[in-house]
Amino acid sequence: MKTKADIRSHYLRIRNDTTESQRQEAAATAASLLAEHPAFKKSEHIACYCAHKNEFDTLPIIQAIFRAQKKCYLPILREGNTLGFVRYEDGDELEVNQFGILEPFDTARKVSVDKLDLIIMPLVAYDSQGRRLGMGGGFYDRTLASMHVHNSKPHLLGLAYSSQHIEELPSDSWDINIHSVITELGIRIF
């Protein structure tokens, strides 16, 4: 089996080769699918992320959260290479963090991860068992480490292009699996 680094490099190339029109179409489709996702329907507090570089565009997803009158949260970097989550409302000021990723400027409206119903996560690749390969920083894995894998809250949802699917990813003991993924082709629940 290839290493995570080899797989990451391969799937980053695939993600980077996605055309702008494919990106826009996939993002619009994913936002429509999200509204039909069982976890979304029963969620009130939803964390998303601001897409960075060639990650799956989340703007239509964030707009869908607002349209459904649910509360949206965005991640911020914290000490210990973990993430905090801050309430985000349309028009709130964002700033660029050390990695060039937009995050809320005003961090006064933090919420603990266990208060979230749904976390929408970026990824580089995912497999048929719900394993997720990220950028390699481990931010989500460390942040969610205290959760039990079978805990029903929050629901962990990956956002990806169907081309980011691999049959099987290597796994480490600290890796946190996702519960479902949305691609331009549909919803897959693990």
3-class SS shares of the chain: helix, strand, coil, % to 5: 30, 25, 45
Q: What is the pTM of this model?
A: 0.92
**What average pLDDT does the segment 71-81 reach?**
93
Instruction: Using the predicted structure, report yes or no on whether residue 149 has a pLDDT greater than 60.
Output: no
Query: What is 4-189's CATH superfamily?
Result: NagB/RpiA/CoA transferase-like (3.40.50.10420)
Q: What is the largest CA-CA distance in the chain?
A: 45
**What average pLDDT does the segment 67-90 reach?**
94
**What average pLDDT does the segment 93-111 reach?**
92
pLDDT score of 38: 95
Could you give the C-alpha distances from 151 to 46, 147, 148, 154, in angstroms and in order? 16, 7, 5, 7
CA-nearest of 82, 7, 49, 52 to 158 is 49
pLDDT score of 136: 87
CA-nearest of 1, 13, 46, 29 to 125 is 13
CB 170 within 8 A of CB 148: no
Domain boundaries, the chain: 4-189
pLDDT score of 152: 56
- What is the chain's mean pLDDT, rounded? 93
Which pLDDT tens digit goes with each residue over 151-184? 557 999 999 999 999 999 999 888 999 999 999 9
Give the C-alpha separation, 40 to 163, whole Å.
24
